[in-house]
Amino acid sequence: MLAILLNLLPLFLESSKPSLAKVAPLKAVLFDVDGTLCDSDPLHHIAFREMLQEIGFNGGVPITEDYFAENIAGKHNDDIAKHLFPNDLPRGLKFCEEKEEMFRRLASKQLTPLNGLYKVKKWVEDRGLKRAAVTNAPRPNAELMISKLGLSDFFDVVIIGDECEHAKPHPEPYLKALEVLNVSKDHTFVFEDSVSGIKAGVAAEMPVVGITTRNPEHSLLEAKPTFLIKDYEDPKLWAALEELDKMKA
């Protein structure tokens, strides 16, 4: 039995080799913001946890990290409001708005770029690729994070879910980014860290590199990313980028 498995191993490794060859020649890279550029989910978690506890949600018992990952992370505020306050949507929306204010207070004090972010930034710049940030975050949050990370000049455009007819997991925000950048989905790939975001990129028919910043691997895999990386230092990512360089040469 073991011998058979060992014989199959090279086949398995070959088929799971991380590759973005499908999009060569690469023209553009699209980045989600929260959890993809920076590890901001803990700040969202803190803001939700404290504010929900304050109003006695869940009998005053703080929400767990699992609850947060499953029901809140990466989702649009309209959907979060519906989930948290199914019988009072206006209250839910107001709650989410106040939560965003608290998030911005936290983010302006502490925001950590993902490992290797500036290395990928340079790789993208050196190749003259187009780039967009595509996020379900409200515009003031997205712009605060992008500016705190020193990326205001890096992105050609920032697409906001709220400003589209449909936010992620609908493909529209990603399709809008392609349209504004004037690039084809066939020459573009996406970086995402949430199930909802990976689904949006996949629905827009682009390869999605999933980042396991906070969300569990098994749930990200359900959304069908092309492959998963730990952060931008992950050798799997650089193997795929080198392959793209070689195809161009």
Point out the residues that are catalytic. 32, 34
What's the chain look like in SS3? CHHHHHHHHHHHHHHCCCCCHHHCCCCEEEECCECCCECCHHHHHHHHHHHHHHCCHHHHCCCCHHHHHHHCCCCCHHHHHHHHCCCCHHHHHHHHHHHHHHHHHHHHHCCCECCCHHHHHHHHHHCCCEEEEEECCCHHHHHHHHHHCCCCCCCCEEEEHHHCCCCCCCCHHHHHHHHHHCCCHHHEEEEECCHHHHHHHHHCCCCEEEECCCCCHHHHHHCCCCEEECCCCCHHHHHHHHHHHHHHC
